[in-house]
Amino acid sequence: MSTKFQVVDGWVRGARCCESPNFNQRPLQGDISLLVIHNISLPPGQFAGDDVERFFCNQLDFDSHPFYQEIRGVEVSAHLFIRRDGELVQFVSLDNRAWHAGMSEFEGRDQCNDFSIGIELEGTDSQSYTDQQYQVLSVLTQAIQHAYPEISAERITGHSDIAPGRKTDPGEAFDWLRYRSSLK
């Protein structure tokens, strides 16, 4: 896979666009200095459907699976979603505030949505991610760092690190060493 991404005006060239209504403006424009890695699968542990996209776009049929009653009425989004096959989907401009982190804190600063970019990996805490996902995540991260230079290697974190006790993703299955070494 020889994917190349470029960020232009907040949009990633090479990503499929699926615009979510779940975003707003950042309180301080240009204040983008954190990258947060998440995971999601809907229904939990099931892959390859379009329910994640529907959920982020407020179009999920909440009656189609019993688990969905737990998330009925929730309005969330991420900037980007990397499917198991490596397909990249963008929901929100990187320049806007996606609703991915919730109550969160990084280095003494709360409300991480205000200054972060959120990337969701299609997966679970305990199931290995795919080679394609790591490859796309690496190239994507480098493009994001080029466009937003305040996102250093030290300012890339997991959802579990900014919302400990509340969130566990990307989970023990995520290979931080593999990911970080691919960025050098």
Closest Cα to residue 182, out of 147, 127, 141, 124? 141
Counting Cα atoms < 13 Å in the Cβ hemisphere of 6 gives 1
Question: Would you say how long the chain is, in residues?
Answer: 184
Active site residue 120: yes
Give the active site residue among 53, 75, 120, 154.
Answer: 120
Peptide bond just before 27 cis, omega within 30 deg: no
Q: What tokens does 146 get?
A: 């080029």
User: What gap in Å lies between CA 112 and CA 114, rounded to an integer?
Assistant: 5
Residue with tokens 């301080």: 28
* Catalytic annotation, residues: 120
